[in-house]
Amino acid sequence: MLRAAPLLLVAMLMSLSACSGQQAPRLVTPTQGHSSQADFGALRVYYNLLPTLAMNESVARSYGVQRSADQALLVVALRERSGAEDQPVEGMVTATATDLSGRQQQIVLRTVKTGTYTDHVGSVQISEHDTLRFAVQVAAAGDNGTLRFERGF
């Protein structure tokens, strides 16, 4: 039994050294949003979700949001597909976010005008290692639909 103790100690030290052979832990950095689009008839919907810390100060100010580690901004733009260019169109947008445990957040959206375009924006609570599933209902230009997407933080 006494002879096995040094071998056990060597084996434990070797296993611990294997654990430290990896890269040192790094600070978490915010990721950029994933811009996407969906079409419902003549209605084209552009949507993006990004952590507010990933936004620069002037963009955050233009959308009227505070940059924070626990907030992301949902941006939805409605366009009518006509010819070569999409045209801005007024419409209705509602959205919810659900985390993997089933906790649901109703996202309060407001309109923000930038030039001739109108965006629908709303903040959502996020946390580290969180995955949220979004359901966004849109209606404009006689068309409507629901887009669903998922984002991890």
What are the tens digits of pLDDT across the range 58-114? 989 988 999 999 999 999 999 999 888 889 999 999 999 999 999 999 999 999 988
Task: Return all residues near 144 (Cβ < 8 A) that are at least 6 apart.
Answer: 40, 43, 137, 138
- Which parts of 52-84 are beta strand (E)? 71-82
Would you say residue 13 has pLDDT above 80?
Answer: no
What are the tens digits of pLDDT across the range 118-152? 999 999 999 888 899 999 999 998 999 999 999 99
Q: Which domains does the chain have, with CATH numbers?
A: 31-152 (2.60.40.3340)
Question: Residue 113, SS3?
Answer: strand
**Which helix or strand (DSSP H or E) is residue 87 part of?**
strand 85-88
What are the tens digits of pLDDT across the range 34-50? 559 999 999 999 999 99
pLDDT at 23: 53
Residue with tokens 């056990």: 8
